[in-house]
Structure 1
Amino acid sequence: MDRSRADGRTGDSLSRGLSAGVPADQATVRRSNLALVLRHVSASGPCSRSAVALATGLNKTTVTSLVSELQARGLVMETGPQHAGSVGRPSVALALDGSRVGALGVEVNVDYIAAIATDLAGRVLVDRRVGFDAMGSSPERSLDELALVVEKTLADLDRLGVTPAGVTVAIPGLIDTITGTVVVAPNLGWHGVAVAERLSQAGIRPDIPIVVDNDANLAALAEYTSGSEAGTSDLVYLTGEVGVGGGVISGGRLLGGADGFAGEVGHILVDPAGEPCRCGRVGCWETKVGLAALVRMATPDRAYGMGRQVVRDPEERLAEIEQRRAEGDPRVDAAIVEVGRWLGLGASVLVNLFNPRVIVLGGYFARLADRLIPAARQELARLGMTGAAERCRFVASDLGFGAAARGAAGVVVERALSDPTAISIRHPLPSG
């Protein structure tokens, strides 16, 4: 496969920045300065060119040139005069644009495929989720459906006049991010699946970078950048799906591990005499707290794998559980308390290891947080290290089941901010 599709780079990245013949080191410096200015405008705008120069340490002439190029690429726009109370002519304010540049994040999970497309300012342009039985389908069939969702969403962006800067795919499993290959995804039954290569063969334009990463890591990034606990430098995100994954933010950085496989918390052994896990082991944490475990206890007649069933979105399963609870079915409350207890037990391990300030509950955990958290907190207090456990809070995510897809889109945005030359020039650069 073309490895540049997987790692988001292209062989002609230097030639996009400046005209042919400019030495590579100069192109590299200019690309770095473009990113520096763009990030400042993104974080601090609206701001004047003078303010950008002061904050970045670049001279005003250089900033003016860089801003002109960012405008030509459709990344920065002028918003009008900026009145700061000073005497004299008001300066012209700059702000992040990117309204015509899109970022697509896609997630494949056990029973759905989700896609979220944003512009570079993070405004959601497309948000779709389709029910799909990935657990009961072959990898080939799942990749066909994934390609279809990606193609439809890219077509939506095209109709909006938005050019995609890249696609990031979130998968619940161990990912080789260099090649875009799923090493293993136990709940999907995938082993050695070349996702990036398959999408590159599906008619997606070769100039659109394709990246594949772990769903929990991407969701954790979304929480850190735009969730209810955004900016918390030490947090753990738990996916709350059929499988349970974790993304760990430590000191403001995503913890990846030596091979990028950190965060597979769902396969921590918690009960040696417990249920078999799809990873091949017994008693993994996700067999106690995953959505399949809750469904098995609360609505055993609707358990995953019970005969041939219509594909059901997780929201539909939760709605049925809520309905049965409203009807007085005692199994529902008992199941939620049991899941909460095991949730707290596993959380105590994470608190003892990573000392987070917040554990963000995503997926179905967030939906049932008001009933899960009391039981989880009680177990955490019993088993967690004194002090660390007391200072750690459980918080429900407000990003819903779309957190991984949103985080995936955010990776595309981050890449564009880091290398503005990856975005094609839309308007002629001023002469001279």
Structure 2
Amino acid sequence: MKTPQKISDFKQKALHWANQFEVCCFLDSNHYKDTYSAYDFIIAASVNHELKCAAGNAFNQLKSFYTVHKQWIFGFFSYDLKNEIEDLQSNNPDGLAFPDLYFFVPEYLIAFKEGKAEVLIGDKNILAEIESFQVQKKEKATAVQLSQKLSKAQYIDKVETLRDHILRGDIYEVNFCQEFFAENAAINPVQTFELLNAVSPTPFAGYFKIYNQYILSATPERFLCKRGQKLISQPIKGTAKRSFDPAEDEVIKLQLKNDVKEQAENVMIVDLVRHDLTKSAVKGSVKVEELFGIYSFPQVHQMISTISCELNPEIHFIDAIKNAFPMGSMTGAPKVKAMKLIEEYEVSKRGIYSGSFGCISPDGDFDFNVIIRSILYNSESKYLSFQVGGAITYQSNAAAEYEECLLKASAILKVLEG
């Protein structure tokens, strides 16, 4: 068993070693105790085979890709795959240009559990190579000059308009997001991720490099996971700030737990997820395992519910992902109408933001996160972006929602503004 210091040294070396390759994916649970995580962290590097496609027939192409290789695959689903699932469009500007779907079979795969590293794909000598890998000295990070696509006044105006839609009965709830961005941004992606992961360690954190595009994620949210025949989804709805004073922090936590508005937001999304899982479930097997659980992270407390079902054996597990996509916590209810309003009132294409990345194992188990609290970067165009949002209900106070966006962005702002 390695000591915690040895583990973090190995983790850092493994990440930097993987980053030499044109494509790599690092998934880190950051020591959070989670019933469903298969490994403490897992690193896939270099490409044996890859699939890159646009919305249209992407899920079927992924099915074929998995069937051909029957191997570990790592990849992501962009939010805009919604256009393949429903009659929807994405016409807002996009500065990042991620593919709609990307998966790869790695040449090397190292998994870490209970103090031990294991090579799942590739030469066993790779562990010695990682142990002796020289991590380059940290570059001095330059502060990134961020701009917002929406002013505070524009944001508030749009939230008020969305509340009018709710009053008219068009929707009950919508997840409305705004983009922070920087042009001509020069960052060191791997170091920026390490800093973000240190400031805000979360259970579904990850680093995904695909050539000149990067996802640096401190997401606390699981989209969907499959273990055996069981599917598990854990939507987040409900956020409160942390306090440095332990007594006050406990009070804030209790207030969140008993906040009727936050509970109403959460339960709407739980109902939506139950509905999405029903499409793939053995009849009668969908159940809410935990409602309104309160979980604490470095910047925020979150209200998280857990919904599960047994996968119908006649349904391909990739269709089960498609049936639940995009995740209800990032859309709203009813889902299709909410997505139409998102397209109408947001001013940036979501792209990979509010999509999902993760991995599928050779036996068809999988685990995918929700891409929130994430820095997205295109090193070729030097465009950097992150988006933040929240659930808008009729009870929402537009100015308070704006402040919640800034709270959710706080770790990223701290990292990028130095």
Q: TM-score range by the shorter chain?
A: under 0.3
Of structures 1 and 2, the one with the larger relative CO (CA 8 A, separation 6+) is 2
Structure with the higher helix share, 1 or 2: 1
